[in-house]
Amino acid sequence: MMTMKLYHRPDCPFCWKVRLFLQEENIKLEEVCVDLGETHPDVVALNPNGTVPVLVDGDVVLGESAVIIEYLADKFPGSSLMKGSPSQRAQIRQLHYDSDHKLGKIIFPYIKQIRESEQHKASDDLLKKTSEAWAREQKKLTRTLGEKAFFNKEFSVAECALIPRFALALAYGLTLNEDDQNLKQWFYRCVKRPSFLDTLPQALPAIDEMVKF
């Protein structure tokens, strides 16, 4: 049987999401790390966008993280990360979509500015705008989570998508809403799982330096 291969950048939230999925499902494959800004010839040849993640499984080549996750959940139908009724699966997909498209848009310009500025700082304006939007998103997630331990009762693709966003936000100086205790507990619950520790990018500080448990 051919080994699957994943091209990824460890601190890319889309890639990290896929690696959390693989780790939680105990799916083994060959990993090829790509650095930020690196033009990897395989990636360029495989994916017209030149972006990671890229999954190669025999003839199947997939270059969008959301499509990769659905593919893996289809291919390994015992997967516990997409399980439930159609409405539960829709809620997982809605959270996955919002994490990829909305949380990403809020946090990414801020992280990019820090990475690219000489002082490794964002402007006060951008910090304020990002912090406010990030706090509002946490409020929305708190309402969706309610009293549950995880968004779909058990750890799911929703957590695979959201946890890298949260970890990156904290690593770059944003904070968890003090009032949203259930969401904080949810985050602590996730980052203590072996899958998080095993996939945490080396470039990020240890999570206990980001958050006081």
Name the residues that contact its own copies, by CB under 8 A: 48, 57, 59-60, 62-64, 66-67, 70-71, 74-75, 86-87, 89-90, 93-94, 97, 140
For the bound state, the minimum distance from the C-beta of residue 18 to its own copies, rounded and expressed in Å, comes to 13
For the bound state, the minimum distance from the C-beta of residue 189 to its own copies, rounded and expressed in Å, comes to 25
For the bound state, the minimum distance from the C-beta of residue 102 to its own copies, rounded and expressed in Å, comes to 9
For the bound state, the minimum distance from the C-beta of residue 42 to its own copies, rounded and expressed in Å, comes to 18
Query: Rounded to an integer, what distance in angstroms lies between the CA atom of residue 12 and that of residue 92?
Result: 21
Q: Burial, 138: exposed, middle or buried (Cβ in 10 Å; 0-12, 13-18, 19+)?
A: buried
Residue whose CB is less far from its own copies, 151 or 196: 151
CA-atom Rg of the chain in angstroms = 17
Strand-strand pairing, 5-8 and 54-57: antiparallel
Residue whose CB is less far from its own copies, 25 or 57: 57
What does the block give as tokens for 34? 């790509």
Q: Which spans in the chain are helix H?
A: 13-25, 41-46, 65-75, 86-98, 104-116, 124-145, 157-171, 181-191, 194-199, 207-210
- What pairs with residue 57 in β-bridges? 60
For the bound state, the minimum distance from the C-beta of residue 208 to its own copies, rounded and expressed in Å, comes to 34
Residue whose CB is less far from its own copies, 94 or 117: 94
Q: Is 32 helix (H, G, I), strand (E, B) or coil?
A: strand
Residue whose CB is less far from its own copies, 68 or 200: 68
Residue whose CB is less far from its own copies, 88 or 182: 88
